[in-house]
């Protein structure tokens, strides 16, 4: 079965990566689909292509051979139709995530090929990690190496050094 794990992944953190690893053990093929949203261009730390490359490096380092990384824009249901996949994988950290993701799952079922959404609960040790928090810590020079894969840590260091000048 081919599943799609969509998200912004700005940046990829260990909670995201835990879901990728677990999905790769459950399904034959996993596509990690990085959202491109030009209307939010100024809100992203990394470009879509940078996010794709970070995830590709992390996947390669972990030897997850059944995981591919792509980017998409527009409706997820349309992207999934093009891929021929009917299953969405989403990670959940808390009840607040569930409420939002449940609404999205219902909306996606009304569009396209009626995809099913499967939820994977975040591992307890990563349930507090968010991309927003990772970016905030990195902006203030904090060590995020325990919260993100090495590929992300390296990209964050480079991005922060470039921002300094």
Is the pLDDT assigned to residue 39 strictly greater than 70? Answer: no
The CATH number of the structural domain formed by 1-160 is 3.40.50.620
Closest CA to 93 of 118, 119, 121: 121
Residue 76 known to bind ligand: yes
Question: pTM to 2 decimals?
Answer: 0.94
Assess whether 125 carries a catalytic annotation. Answer: no
State yes or no: is 146 an active-site residue. Answer: no
The CA distance from 10 to 156, in Å, is 10
Question: How far, in Å, CA of 26 to CA of 29, rounded?
Answer: 9
Q: What is the DSSP string of 108-152?
A: HHHSTT--EEEEEEPPGGGTT--HHHHHHHHHTT---TTTS-HHH
pLDDT (tens digit per residue) in 101-158: 999 999 988 986 789 999 999 999 999 999 999 999 999 999 999 999 999 999 999 9
72 is in an annotated binding site: no
Choice among 56, 93, 109, 159 that is catalytic: 93
What average pLDDT does this structure show over 64-73?
97
82 flagged as catalytic: no
Are 93 and 125 in contact, with CB atoms under 8 Å apart? no
Report whether 20 contacts 90 (CB < 8 A): no
pLDDT for position 94 = 85
pLDDT at 44 over 90: no
Residue 40 annotated as lining a ligand binding site: yes
85: annotated active-site residue: no
Angstrom distance (rounded) from CA 28 to CA 2: 6
Residues 73-89 have pLDDT tens digits of: 999 999 999 999 999 99
């Amino acid at each position: 079965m081919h599943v799609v794990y969509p998200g912004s992944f700005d940046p990829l953190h260990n909670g995201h990566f835990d879901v990728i690893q677990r999905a790769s053990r459950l399904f034959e093929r996993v596509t990690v689909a990085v959202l491109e949203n030009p209307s939010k261009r100024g809100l992203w730390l990394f470009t879509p292509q940078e996010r794709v490359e970070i995830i590709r490096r992390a996947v390669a380092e972990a030897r997850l051979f059944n995981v591919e990384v792509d980017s998409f824009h527009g409706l997820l249901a349309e992207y999934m139709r093009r891929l021929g996949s009917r299953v969405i994988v989403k990670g959940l950290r808390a009840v607040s995530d569930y409420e939002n993701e449940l609404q999205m799952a219902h909306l996606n079922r009304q569009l396209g090929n009626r995809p099913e959404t499967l939820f994977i609960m975040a591992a307890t040790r990563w349930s507090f990690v968010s991309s927003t928090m990772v970016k905030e810590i990195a902006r203030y020079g904090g060590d995020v190496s325990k919260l993100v894969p090495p590929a992300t840590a390296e990209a964050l260091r480079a991005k922060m050094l470039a921002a300094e000048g």
